[in-house]
Amino acid sequence: MAVKVKICGITNSQQALMAQDAGADALGLVLYEGSSRFVNLERAINIREVIRPDVLCVVLLVNAVAEFVNLVIESIKPDLIQFHGDETPEFCQQFDFPYIRATRMRDDLDISSEVLRYSDSKWFLFDAFHAGAYGGTGEKFDWNRLPSLRDYALILAGGLTPENVVTAIETVSPDMVDVSGGVETEPGVKDELKVRLFIERVKSC
C-alpha cells in the first residue's frame, strides 16, 4: 500500500489548495497558540471549506479543555483530532471521535505501553521529543527505535524533508509521513516546489 502524506501547519486556503493539487492525502490545521503555525477557529473553518472530501482534515490540539475540543468538532467538522499534548487516554476517549495520538519520543518511552494505553486511537504519530515544545521543531529522532512489526497505523513525523523522506520510509515503513517545517520557506509559509518534491518522492517509494 502506498505511503500517505500529511502536510501539517496549513495556515491559509491557498496553501490547502496547493497541497491538495500536489497530491496530499491529509492536511493539518494547528489550533495551538504556542505554535508558529497557529490558526484561530475562524480561519480554520475557512480553510476547512476548501478541503476536498477525499483529503483528510486533521485538527491539531495541545492540552485543550474539553469545551474547546467539542467546539472544534462541531464548528470545523474535521475528520480527525490530533492530540499532541499530555492528554490522558480518558480525555481523548470522552469525545467518541476519531483521533490521532501523537507521541514525542522521550528516551524512556515504552512504545508498546503507550500504544496499549491509547488502544482506540486511529493512528499513532511519533515525533521528536523537545522539552520546550510540542512538535514543529524540525528535529528528527532515531527512526530505528520504532518497531518493525506492529498492528497499528503509524505516522512518522519530526524533521522530515524531501531529502531524507525516502530513507525514512525505507527504515520505518510508515503508513503515513507528516511534514511541516521541511517544506517551508519560513514557519507557516509552505514552499510549493518543496511540497511537490516531498510528495513526489514519497509516492515513488
**What amino acid positions are annotated as catalytic residues?**
8, 127
Q: 102: how many CB neighbours lie within 10 A of its CB?
A: 25
The model's pTM: 0.94
Task: Give pLDDT tens digits for 162-203.
Answer: 999 999 999 999 999 999 999 999 999 999 999 999 999 999
pLDDT at 135 over 60: no
Q: How far from each other are the two terminal CA atoms of the chain, in whole angstroms?
A: 10
User: Mean pLDDT: which of 70-84, 103-117, 133-147 is highest?
Assistant: 70-84
pLDDT score of 146? 94
Which domains can be identified in the chain, with CATH numbers? 4-203 (3.20.20.70)
Say if CB 126 and CB 157 are below 8 A apart: yes
How much is the mean pLDDT over the chain? 94
Q: What is the pLDDT of residues 59-93, one digit of tens each?
A: 999 999 999 999 999 999 999 999 999 999 999 99
Higher pLDDT, 2 or 131: 2
Cβ contacts of residue 58 below 8 Å, gap of 6+? 6, 8, 26, 27, 28, 29, 78, 79, 80, 81, 82, 100
Cα dihedral 172/168/7/34 (nearest 10):
90
